[in-house]
Structure 1
Amino acid sequence: MTVNLEDYFRTVFEEHLSVSVSVPEVDLRTGATHLLDKQKEIKQMDTALRTQKDTFELKKESLRQRKEELKKKEEKLKDSLLQFDKFVQENDAKKARGMKKAEAERAVLREREREVQQLQRNIAALLAKKEQLQARVSRNRIYWSFIEKVLKSSKKFEEAGQLIGRFDTLLCTREKLLKRQSELERERESEGVELRRYLSERGSVLLHYNNKLSQLQTELDTVLSQALRWESTWNHIQATAAKETLLLGQIKVVTLNLYHMTSGVTGRTEGVNVDDTLEQLDKIQRYLQDRADIVHDLRSDAGNKSIPSDE
């Protein structure tokens, strides 16, 4: 806990001052004596405060040492608790390992029992198989007798193993030949199916292209017919265009002549372009309009002059 020394000493000093000031008796001493008494009291108060401060510091140091001792005891207690927890955990671990070991041993024992039972079943199965093999040997003894007779009558084989090996080789060769024949049959059938499918597809493609060729031939005939018709139309258009071009040239020449007759200017900055026929016609129209207005005004003036005056 943090202690504010300044607040503490201020409180103690105020208490002493309140005790000193609370005397209700009439003081008949002079001001200097009173001042000396006050200084004496202040010195006493300072001495008392220093004493209390030293006492407080001693108590504070004692509390600090006590706190350190308690902290050390707390750390020792924590270490003891950790060691105890470690001891308990080790005991639990040993117990768990012991239980696991016992369980593992029981599992191994059960596994060994199952293996023993399986071995007993295997022994029984082997005994049964032995009896079956003995029965087969008894049944097949006739074949061994036959092999011995063949060896006696044959000069090519001296032992039964050679005869059996040759027989196995022939059987293996026969199986390979049969297998190869079967593979060839399957390949032939597959190739036949593939050939028929290919011929069918090619026939379909050929029919499609024949139909496409017939359609294209029809379209070609139609296009040729249209081309002849458009060629005739183009010849007519060219003939008509030549006539209209000639007529257009004549119109341009006439228009240009009329424009010059109206004092129109061409080729200069203020003039009209020689090929700008529309502008020339516009100028000609304005010129004719101006002349028509002049004629109309002259006729109006002539009519007004022919009327007699009222005087």
Structure 2
Amino acid sequence: MGSDLEERVRAAFRDKLQLLKIPGKEDDFLPSACHLLEKRRELAEVERALSAKKEEFQMKMEELHGRRQELEHKERQFKEAVLKFDKFLKENDAKQKRALCRATEEQRQASQRGPEAERLRQEITRLQGVKETLQQRLSAHKAFPEYLRKVLETSEQFREIPELIDRFQTLMSTQASLAQRELVAREAVEEARARLQRYVEESSNQILQQNNQVAELQSRLDEIRTRVLEGESNWICIQNTAANKTLELGQIKLATLNLFQMVAKHRAVPADVPVDDTAAQLEAVQQCIVDLTDILADFRKGEPTYIPQPELKAASHSEPEPS
């Protein structure tokens, strides 16, 4: 029924779309396009409403199906109960007839036997009490057959009371089976939930281990960074020391070159020594100082009075130690 209603709505909307006039110009197309969008929106709303109605109808059908199954199950049970009750009544009537026959026979024989007749009268009294009890039970249970007949009158599915009772018993059996399936499903859900809990715990432990490893690696990284910073600091210090040493060496070489040039200017020293050969320059300066020292010693032997020589003294003080 829901599919027929949906098809009718779609067909009506399709007919309305076919009746729409397609504009010939672009300016006339905009209102029609807006109208088409509006119709599409209305169609979407109708489809949503239709889907909601279909879901509601499906839920009602499922509920009715469940109630029908439950009623059929109860009907089968009731049918079985009525059959059993009818069987019980028939057996009871048969017993009652047999008891009456036996009582009649015993009454006949009671005329011949006195003590036996008294016993039989007591048995008859007891059986009459049982009969009254059974009649009361029969009167009390008469409402059930009448109810079953009314159910058969209102229902077109069943023709006889045994069919109704069979259907009721089937519904009861189905209910028990569904209850068993539900129990199995619940146990499966509990087992799946336990597995999920174990998986979550294992995942949490793995995540914790990974976090610990990350923290350890981060600590190692910080330590390595600290070492790198220390190494870079030491390297900078080494570079600064090397620069200072290089500067000092350059100053020494420059001073040595100045001394050599002074010596070469005032003394007859060969000037073919390379500029970067500091050792040869120092040797030449040293040789010049030795010569000057010898000359000064010879001069002091002949002249007791000491005459200082500023240039040589200054040169001797600025002379670095030979490398």
TM-score calculated relative to the size of structure 2: 0.31
Larger Rg: 1 or 2? 1
TM-score calculated relative to the size of structure 1: 0.32
